[in-house]
């Protein structure tokens, strides 16, 4: 499976990685989990924000070992053809309450 990330996601990851040292490893574990799953969603850790035939947008809780909690959130797009994951946003729940809806809308417009 191929993984991409938006420029904004890369900047957020770089900033948060300085504060939470295990974040890179935690994100790698998430990638392994996403690769194993054929059907997304289910449970309290996944929320589908948008669904189309070719792309779905999900918000997931990320367990960060530095925080010892699931207060990190990752917004990602799962494309069906070809199958790939694009990371859109990463944020700490203590700094930001909700996802950036405008960024998600812009991403969907750019992929059309």
Distance CA 7, CA 11 (A): 6
Q: Quote the pLDDT of residue 38.
A: 59
* Domain boundaries along the sequence of the chain: 2-110
Q: Quote the pLDDT of residue 1.
A: 81
88 touches 76 (CB < 8 A): yes
Confidence check: pLDDT of 22 > 80: yes
| Main-chain phi, psi angles of 28, to 5 degrees | -65, -40
- What is the chain's mean pLDDT, rounded? 89
Average the pLDDT over 26-50 and give the result: 79
Of 68 and 110, more confident:
110
Which CATH architecture best describes the domain 2-110?
2-Layer Sandwich (3.30)
């Amino acid at each position: 499976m191929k993984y991409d990330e938006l420029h904004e996601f890369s900047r957020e990851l770089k900033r948060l990685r300085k504060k939470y040292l295990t974040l890179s490893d935690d994100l790698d574990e998430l990638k392994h989990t996403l690769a194993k799953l054929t059907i997304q969603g289910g449970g309290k850790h996944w929320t589908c924000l948008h669904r189309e035939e070719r792309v779905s947008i999900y918000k997931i809780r990320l367990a960060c070992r530095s925080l010892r909690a699931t207060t990190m959130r990752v917004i990602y797009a799962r494309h069906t053809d070809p199958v790939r994951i694009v990371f859109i946003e990463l944020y700490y729940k203590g700094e930001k309450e909700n996802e950036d809806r405008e960024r998600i809308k812009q991403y969907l417009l750019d992929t059309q």
